[in-house]
Structure 1
Amino acid sequence: MDWDKLRIFHAVADAGSLTHAGDSLHLSQSAVSRQIRGLEESLNTTLFHRHARGLILTEQGELLFDATRSMAKRLDTATARIRDSEEEVFGELRVTTAVGFGTLWLAPRLPKLYDKYPDLKIDLMLEERVLDLPMREADVAVRMKEPSQADLIRKRLMSIRMRCYASSGYLAKMGRPERLEELSSHRLICQAPSAPQVSAGASLINRLLANDVHSNLTVNNYFGVLQGVIHDLGIGVLPDYLIEDFPNLERVFPDIESVEVPVFLAFPEELRHSKRVAAFRDFVQEEIISHRRNLRELRERTPDDN
């Protein structure tokens, strides 16, 4: 198959227009049209439906576009790896992690990484969906469970637990419950048990909701839960890594917590020698060490609340 025709097809499919594709490729519309027509003839199929407002891919065109999109991602990766030097870390790094961890723990620490590598460009993708690393939907993942995909390098970073927290203002106003049965007199702030989250969090929430909770607020991510808690709205179910950055949170029900949730960093085997990936991996590991030390010191100062 003619690589040049595929390159032009990809540009047309991406732009949805012969004219716009021609502009990006520095080719005339007629030249682009001839290449597309030649590709369709070589494949004996129609790749585009043509109408007044532009071009729409046929079913066969969609199949080919999926292939060229994958090829383009791999070529971009190869180009970036080639450009990596031994001394410098630069270029784009696509990092995926859960909304809560990315928003509340990772993002606030990124200034340290940028201070060290100012030419790094990070695309931080926060979502609960597990992106396909081998298919290069992302370069690096920080996940709340061990990745199951093949051909990944993985490292366990730490463990977290979901616990109950409230603000000092809320507890001063409403009192501190000592037993789960007393939740009926308080508002519970949490994710819905059916929301995308680690199973350990859902199990803890189900246990708490079984105690005749009369008022609750459900939010579909931990950032929203945290906002409710720090604004004195109720008792929230939150991951314990927040205590370092929000020391005014007070733990409620110190004997109640979720099972341990492992946190893994993973990236494709093919990026083993990427300087950008190595820089991010080392940064996260250093921050984890600092995080553990700070939590230990915090627990020594306030052993009853943490």
Structure 2
Amino acid sequence: MDWDKLRIFHAVADAGSLTHAGDTLHLSQSAVSRQIRALEESLGTTLFHRHARGLILTEQGELLFDATRAMNKRLDAAAARIRDSEEEVYGELRVTTATGFGTLWLAPRLEKLYDKYPELKIDLMLEERVLDLPMREADVAIRMKEPSQADLIRKRLMNIRMRLFATPEYLNKFGEPQRLEDLSTHRLICQNPNAPQVSAGAKLIETLNDYDIRSKLYVNNYFGVLQAVLNHLGIGVLPDYLTESSSSLVRVLPEIESGEVPVFLAYPEELRHSKRIQVFRDFIVEEISAHRRQMRDEEEASH
């Protein structure tokens, strides 16, 4: 099968348009169209339905597009490995993690990594959806549960817990609850228990909802929950990594917390020898160790 025709097919399928694909490939629309027709003839099938709004893949086209997409991701992975130098670290590293962790824990620490490797380009993808690492949707992930996908190298980084927090201003205005039953007169800020999230957090929210809390604010990530809490809207369910070093928050009902939530770093087996992965992994491990030392020193100083 002609690799060049497959490359052109992939661009057309991705763009849904001969014109847009031609712009990307620096080819005329007629040249792209000829290549697609030649590919269809060689395969003995129709790859696109053509209509006024553009091109739609046929069932056979979808099968071929799945194959070319997988090929592209494999080629990207191979190119990344080839670019990795034994002495230098540069190029793109695509990191995926949850919005709260990426925004409030990871991003503020990246300056240290860039100081050591200024030519590193990090694409930080913050979303609650779990990206497919073996299919190269990202190079490395930090997740609040152990990855279930095969062919991944995984490292347990730390454990976190979900706890209750509020601002002193909110507690001065509405009073501090002394027992779970007192939450009924407060506003609870949390993720929807039916939304995708760590199971330990969902279980804690289900427990709190048993106490007839009349006012609630649901946010679909912990960064949003934190912003609502910092603006004195209520008592929030937040992971401890967001709040351990924050003097603007007060822990409420300190005996109440979720079970442990493991935090894992994971990346595909094929990137085992990637220098970019290695330096990022070592950086994260060192930052967590430094954070633990700081928290331990602060705890000892307070006693």
Counterpart Cα distance in 1 of 2:192 and 2:26: 52
Runs of 5+ in structure 1 lacking a partner?
none
Of 264-273 and 140-149, the range deviating more from structure 2: 140-149
Structure 2 partner of 1:122 = 122
For residues 226-260 of structure 1, the C-alpha deviation after alignment (integer angstroms, 9 at most, x for no partner) is: 11211122111100112244222111111111000
Q: Measure how far apart 1:28 and its partner are.
A: 4.0
Percent of pairs with identical residues = 79
Q: Measure how far apart 1:53 and its partner are.
A: 4.7
**2:243 aligned counterpart, secondary structure:** helix
1:47 aligns with 2:16: no
**1:256 aligned counterpart, secondary structure:** strand
Counterpart Cα distance in 1 of 2:257 and 2:30: 66
Contact 1:243–1:295 under 8 Å retained in 2: no
**CA separation of 1:146/1:243 partners in 2, compared to 1, >3 Å: closer, same or farther?**
same
Of 8-17 and 284-293, the range deviating more from structure 2: 8-17
**CA separation of 1:171/1:9 partners in 2, compared to 1, >3 Å: closer, same or farther?**
same
Contact 1:244–1:294 under 8 Å retained in 2: no
**CA separation of 1:216/1:301 partners in 2, compared to 1, >3 Å: closer, same or farther?**
farther
The amino acid that maps onto 2:116 is K
Of 132-141 and 156-165, the range deviating more from structure 2: 132-141
For residues 91-129 of structure 1, the C-alpha deviation after alignment (integer angstroms, 9 at most, x for no partner) is: 111111112211221122222222222222222222222
Counterpart Cα distance in 1 of 2:144 and 2:231: 27
Contact 2:141–2:267 under 8 Å retained in 1: yes
Structure 1 partner of 2:14 = 14
Counterpart Cα distance in 2 of 1:177 and 1:301: 28
Structure 1 partner of 2:276 = 276
Contact 1:244–1:291 under 8 Å retained in 2: no
The amino acid that maps onto 2:45 is T
Structure 2 partner of 1:188 = 188
Counterpart Cα distance in 2 of 1:24 and 1:130: 29
1:160 aligns with 2:154: no
**1:46 aligned counterpart, secondary structure:** coil
1:178 aligns with 2:178: yes
Q: Measure how far apart 1:40 and its partner are.
A: 0.6
For residues 168-225 of structure 1, the C-alpha deviation after alignment (integer angstroms, 9 at most, x for no partner) is: 2122222222211111222211112111111100111111121121222121111111
Of 106-115 and 38-47, the range deviating more from structure 2: 106-115
Structure 2 partner of 1:225 = 225
Counterpart Cα distance in 2 of 1:216 and 1:298: 34
Q: Measure how far apart 1:83 and its partner are.
A: 1.1
1:97 aligns with 2:97: yes
For residues 147-170 of structure 1, the C-alpha deviation after alignment (integer angstroms, 9 at most, x for no partner) is: 111111110000000001111212
For residues 35-83 of structure 1, the C-alpha deviation after alignment (integer angstroms, 9 at most, x for no partner) is: 2222111111011223345433222112211211111111111112101
1:295 aligns with 2:295: yes
Structure 1 partner of 2:78 = 78
Structure 2 partner of 1:25 = 25
Superposition RMSD in Å: 1.8
Counterpart Cα distance in 1 of 2:174 and 2:294: 30
The amino acid that maps onto 2:62 is E
1:215 aligns with 2:219: no
Contact 1:104–1:242 under 8 Å retained in 2: yes
Structure 1 partner of 2:108 = 108
Counterpart Cα distance in 2 of 1:18 and 1:218: 44
Contact 1:143–1:265 under 8 Å retained in 2: yes
**CA separation of 1:179/1:48 partners in 2, compared to 1, >3 Å: closer, same or farther?**
same
Structure 2 partner of 1:251 = 251
Contact 1:244–1:298 under 8 Å retained in 2: no
Q: Measure how far apart 1:19 and its partner are.
A: 3.8
Runs of 5+ in structure 2 lacking a partner?
none
Counterpart Cα distance in 1 of 2:245 and 2:27: 54
Q: Measure how far apart 1:90 and its partner are.
A: 1.3
